[in-house]
Structure 1
């Protein structure tokens, strides 16, 4: 279920051969005095009954790789790396992407600072 700034995903245990999980992804844009606008993300939930919380930030120009960061973080907590929490519902991924783009006032073709890719863990 998506609403601007929040996505909730869940999978009951034993369904579809995947582990049981209930995960919320919250995001917002915050202004960093030195870095400028940053995407602030928070993942909170449980995978196989184990609670977790992860917080991350991404620069304006790398924020559109949020799904990759989320996949890496959820894999750290037990969700199989080949299970995409977001990409499985492409319409919701598109909605998140567009919401982030609007919040960051980003346009297609904006340049990417390669140092940000490394610092944002991509």
Structure 2
């Protein structure tokens, strides 16, 4: 997935790409691995992170955390503001992880900041 935005009064210019793949047994992969890279306001971004399958759909929050660690306070919903951009990603991720609607989530894992 790739997003580009020109600068506006409230937000810097950015050009970001998000690549992902799953790892683990083919029948039920355990991990979603992400690579976020590009630039925000000419600041290079290159972050890799993995999330357990039950919390992988919360990857936008993880992206926000990665950006905050770099001192960039850009709202994630701005990065992926339009459903047309991220809905196919969610659906593909769900398909690759063999995720089911209503599947339980480990709340402790979900609430962790790591």
TM-score range relative to shorter protein:
0.7 to 0.9
Moved over 6 A (4+): none
Distance 2:67 2:97 in 1: 25
1:69 to 62, 70, 76: 62
Which has more helix, going by share of residues? 2
Which string of whole-angstrom CA distances, capped at 9 and with x for unpartnered residues, describes residues 37-63 of structure 1? Answer: 200001001111111211111001001
Q: Which runs of 5+ in 1 are unaligned?
A: 1-6
Q: Does 2:9 align with 1:11?
A: no
TM normalised by structure 1 equals: 0.77
1:60 to 53, 57, 63: 53
Which has more strand, going by share of residues? 1
Contact 1:72 1:81 in 2 (8 A): no
Distance 2:85 2:5 in 1: 16
Give 1:11 shift: 1.5
Distance 1:65 1:27 in 2: 13
Number of equivalences: 110
Q: Which runs of 5+ in 2 are unaligned?
A: none
TM normalised by structure 2 equals: 0.82
